């Protein structure tokens, strides 16, 4: 992407009564006359027409150049334009999962797909990928741990929790007379399962960085819930020696 800085003012041509084009006023040679602006080529809109947004005014050319650099950085990284309209849900379902399918076993891919559909898309899918922040993910994990647990007296489920509950399947067994419909899974989600969800999301966002869709992983420093009763090595995911060498417990049913 390209950009330029220029100086302009509001003066009019005394002969035509029209404003001077940018940079054409003869008084602009004076240091204190007019102001500095920046203009850059942006990705075409839905109509396909060329777009050249401007930023300014600035008192100095240096300030205009700095602003131009910052604006270009929002749209381009390592020579590739960032898609600022890409939603997190669309990235996970239509870009990342299909790209991972060939490298994963059938069971692992099914588990990844379930995590994306049950947790990541309902909780984060509406957010633009470039706008995803650690606070959104922390709120998601808190809501996941609230599933199938009683809320404090007088409290109402958060909007995040409502979205997660809406996508959970109902039991398909035949109901008795007067029996209310129940969810298929009624057990709370364990911290171990949240750690797995985090691992999947972390991997997906790392891949977004490698594929130039993000500058950095926004959840690189998010801490997941601890599994009570044992310490887990963050690098290997295995129990430390203090846990007696026990193998990690299997993730519970979703």
- Give me the tens of pLDDT residue by residue for the chain, a chain 254 residues long: 578 899 999 999 998 999 998 888 999 889 889 999 998 877 665 566 777 888 889 999 999 988 888 777 665 554 455 677 899 999 999 999 998 888 899 999 999 999 999 999 999 999 999 999 999 999 999 999 999 999 888 889 999 999 999 998 765 566 677 766 666 678 899 999 999 999 999 999 999 998 888 889 999 999 887 766 555 444 444 445 444 444 444 444 44
Per residue, the 3-state secondary structure of the chain, as one string, reads CCEEEEEECCCECCCCCCECCCCCCHHHHCCCCCEEEEEECECCCCCCCCECCEEEEECCHHHHHHHHHHHHHHHEECCEECCCCCEHHHHHHHHHHHHHHHHCCHHHHHHHHHHHHHHHHHHHCCCEHHHCCHHHHHHHHHHHHHCCCCCCCCCCCCHHHHHHHHCCCECCCCCCCCCCCCECCCCCCCHHHHHHHHHHHHHHHHHHHHCCCCCCCCCCCCCCCCCCCCCECCCCCCECHHHCCCCCCCCCCC
Return the sign of the alpha-carbon dihedral for residues 236, 237, 239, 245. Answer: negative
User: Cβ neighbours of residue 89 under 8 Å, at least 6 residues apart?
Assistant: 120, 121, 124, 125, 126
Q: Is the dihedral of CA 122, 125, 215, 73 positive or negative?
A: negative
pLDDT of residue 118: 93
CA 201/CA 207 separation, integer angstroms = 10
Nearest CA to 166 out of 132, 194, 128, 125 is that of 125
pLDDT at site 152: 87
Q: What's the pLDDT at 235?
A: 42
**Confidence at residue 45, expressed as pLDDT on a 0 to 100 scale:** 57
Q: Return the closest-CA partner of residue 185 out of 109, 251, 101, 92.
A: 251
Residue 232: its pLDDT value, please?
46
What pLDDT is stored for residue 244 in this prediction? 43
Q: What is the value of pTM for the model shown?
A: 0.58
Per-residue pLDDT at 73? 65
Smallest CA-to-CA distance from 123 within 53, 43, 219 is with 219
- Asked whether 34 and 7 are in contact (CB, 8 A), the reply is yes
The answer to whether 63 and 70 are in contact (CB under 8 A) is: no
Predicted local distance difference test score (pLDDT) of residue 70: 77
pLDDT at site 225: 78
pLDDT at 248: 44
């Amino acid at each position: 992407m390209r950009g330029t800085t220029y100086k302009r003012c509001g003066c009019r041509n005394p002969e035509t009564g029209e404003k001077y084009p940018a940079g054409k006023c003869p008084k602009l040679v004076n240091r204190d006359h007019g102001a500095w602006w920046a203009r850059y080529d942006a990705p075409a809109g839905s109509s396909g027409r060329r777009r050249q947004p401007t930023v300014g005014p600035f008192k100095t050319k240096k300030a205009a150049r700095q602003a131009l650099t910052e604006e270009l950085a929002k749209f381009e990284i390592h020579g590739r334009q960032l898609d600022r309209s890409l939603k997190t849900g669309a990235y996970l379902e239509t870009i990342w999962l299909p790209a991972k399918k060939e490298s994963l076993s059938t069971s692992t891919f099914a588990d990844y797909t379930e995590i994306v559909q049950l947790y990541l898309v309902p909780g984060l899918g509406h957010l633009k990928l470039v706008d995803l922040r650690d606070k959104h993910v922390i709120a998601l994990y808190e809501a996941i741990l609230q599933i199938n647990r009683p809320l404090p007296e007088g409290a109402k489920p958060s909007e995040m929790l409502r979205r997660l509950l809406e996508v959970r399947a109902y039991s398909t067994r035949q109901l008795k007379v007067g029996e209310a419909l129940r969810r298929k899974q009624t057990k709370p989600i364990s911290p171990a399962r949240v750690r797995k969800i985090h691992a999947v999301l972390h991997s997906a966002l790392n891949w977004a960085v490698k594929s130039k869709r993000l500058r950095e992983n926004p959840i690189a420093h998010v801490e997941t819930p601890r599994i009570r009763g044992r310490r887990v090595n963050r690098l290997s995911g295995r129990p430390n020696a203090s846990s007696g060498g026990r193998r990690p417990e299997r993730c519970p049913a979703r």
